Structure 1
Amino acid sequence: MLKIAIIEDELAIRDTYKILLRENFSDVEIIGEAGTVAGAVKLIKEGAPHIVFMDIELEDGNSFQVLQNLRPYHFKIIFLTAYNHYAIKAIKFSAFDYIMKPVNEYEFINAVRNAIETVKTAPDSQEQVTNLLDHYQGSQKSGKIVLRTAEAMFVVNIATISHCKSDNSYTTFYLKDKKEVLVSKGMGEYAHLLEDYGFSRPHQSFLVNMNQIHKIDKSDGGFVIMENGAEIPISSRRKQQFLSILETI
């Protein structure tokens, strides 16, 4: 049976989580609850949960302070927040699930199912949490992003990403070594995350690493030729903005 810990400072919300878990998951055990940093650290160390629900803001601090006092990270995390918290970007870079309050039952159940599945295939969250804390702390960029596929999680150096291609709600990452990673998220989210790392969109369906462009081919409307030989079309609608960004590099 999988063990779950709830780190949340509002008692009524804790009760909601417990009801949803008991109604939808017969194979989990709620081992305890906490609403403070110290209480959360104690609960996780002593209870050794497989999955932890973590509200970002706690009574006396936040969940990142909890994580800084815990090692190793042999559990999966589902973050919870009442608003578009400044830490959401760090959470997205690390491929953790998060739920906005008030909790939507469908999103809650889906997040728990995802966590249960990843516990079975990849129970260790060490690299994910390390990347999360690197992005969260200070102004230093981690330089890495966690890409979660159906089979595994990849911690990728952002500088090694050549370009990304969108296919509806899926995104394929093409890496410098010719490796490809397919994730089940739309490219819009990644465009927002990677813009500070020199990525731009020459076309609605493509996101390119501007530092890996070999040349611009002006024939047939225009193409970006990447260092790995990939040819990326430039749409007429995005051409002027894209070339302007390229000139600033």
Structure 2
Amino acid sequence: MIKAIIIDDETAMRAVNSQLLSEYFPEIKQVGTASCIKSGIDLIHKENPDLVLLDIQLSDGSGFQLLQKLPSYDFKVVFITAFDSFAIKAIKFSAIDYILKPINEIEFQQAIQRAIELIEKKEHTESQFNVLMESFKKELQNKKLVLRTQNSIHVVDISDIHYCKSDNSYTTFYFDDSEKILVSKSLKEYESLLKEYGFFRPHQSYLVNLNHIKKVDKTDHGFIIMKNKKEIPISTRQKKNLIDLLDHL
């Protein structure tokens, strides 16, 4: 029997996918659901599924990042996503199946049926996964962000951003060599844009690039030390989330 899990940060979407699997593929045994990268990885290790229905945009990162954190895997993946040209471009390069939100039942059935056929044939998809990750990495390396200030338009590489700091309705971006750019948009808006590119919000006033973290102090009033030696506070609520996230990098 094929074992399946569903990883999606929306409760309603987990329910929809579960219902469609039950209705159209009763031969598939559903062994659990998860809502984020950490719980998804834990569930995969526990259940060793044959099929994973994986949302691309999760609350703590992306489905791509979840797969990157696994040393290896042999289950088949069907991605589920709202329209996102970047994500779909990466998936199409690798010829891996995906389903768009809102879910079309016919497309859902077709994608799951193809996955079942691959599972039954015991067909390896490692090469597809490698192409997917290469495409994903290239997109990240070349990804730009436009920052508009009162006097200028700045085009920056996302990978060059060390951290962002909130000042009410303004956000300051910090880069190498003490360069900084102040824009008149809230940090919350940039959090939603950058979370799938390895950014984490450890404190209500900060958004940090995980790739620029040097050390995390885990004492009672802990803080992050960035590679540029800047110290960033961590809220009590977010400390465990950050440590768990770093443990799976």
TM-score (norm: length of structure 2): 0.54
SS of the residue 1:128 aligns to: helix
1:81 matches 2:78: no
Identify if the C-alpha distance between structure 1 residues 28 and 139 changes in structure 2 by more than 3 Å, giving closer, same or farther.
closer
Q: How does 1:130-169 map to 2 (within 5 A)?
A: 130-138=130-138
Q: How does 1:183-194 map to 2 (within 5 A)?
A: none
Counterpart of 1:134 in structure 2: which amino acid?
A: E
Give the equivalent residue in structure 2 for 1:40. Answer: 40
Identify if the C-alpha distance between structure 1 residues 15 and 130 changes in structure 2 by more than 3 Å, giving closer, same or farther.
same
Whether contact under 8 Å (2:86, 2:139) holds in the other structure is: no
Give the equivalent residue in structure 1 for 2:58. Answer: 58
| Bigger helix fraction | 2
Deviations 1:94-118 (A, max 9, x none): 1101111000001101111110001
Counterpart of 2:110 in structure 1: which amino acid?
A: N
Deviations 1:63-105 (A, max 9, x none): 1111111132211110111113412111111110111100000
SS of the residue 2:9 aligns to: coil
Give the equivalent residue in structure 2 for 1:218. Answer: none
Structure 2, gaps ≥5 residues long: 142-249
Structure 1, gaps ≥5 residues long: 142-249
Identify if the C-alpha distance between structure 1 residues 140 and 65 changes in structure 2 by more than 3 Å, giving closer, same or farther.
closer
Give the equivalent residue in structure 1 for 2:3. Answer: 3
Shift of residue 45 of structure 1? Answer: 1.7
Give the equivalent residue in structure 1 for 2:94. Answer: 94
1:71 matches 2:71: yes
Alpha-carbon distance between aligned partners in 1 of 2:117 and 2:105, rounded to the nearest angstrom? 18
Identify if the C-alpha distance between structure 1 residues 93 and 11 changes in structure 2 by more than 3 Å, giving closer, same or farther.
same
Shift of residue 140 of structure 1? Answer: 9.2
Taking only aligned residues, the RMSD between alpha carbons, in angstroms, comes to 1.7
Q: Which consecutive aligned stretches of 4+ in structure 1 deviate over 2 angstroms post-superposition?
A: 122-125, 138-141
Give the equivalent residue in structure 1 for 2:211. Answer: none
SS of the residue 1:86 aligns to: helix
Identity of aligned residues (%): 41
Whether contact under 8 Å (1:82, 1:101) holds in the other structure is: yes
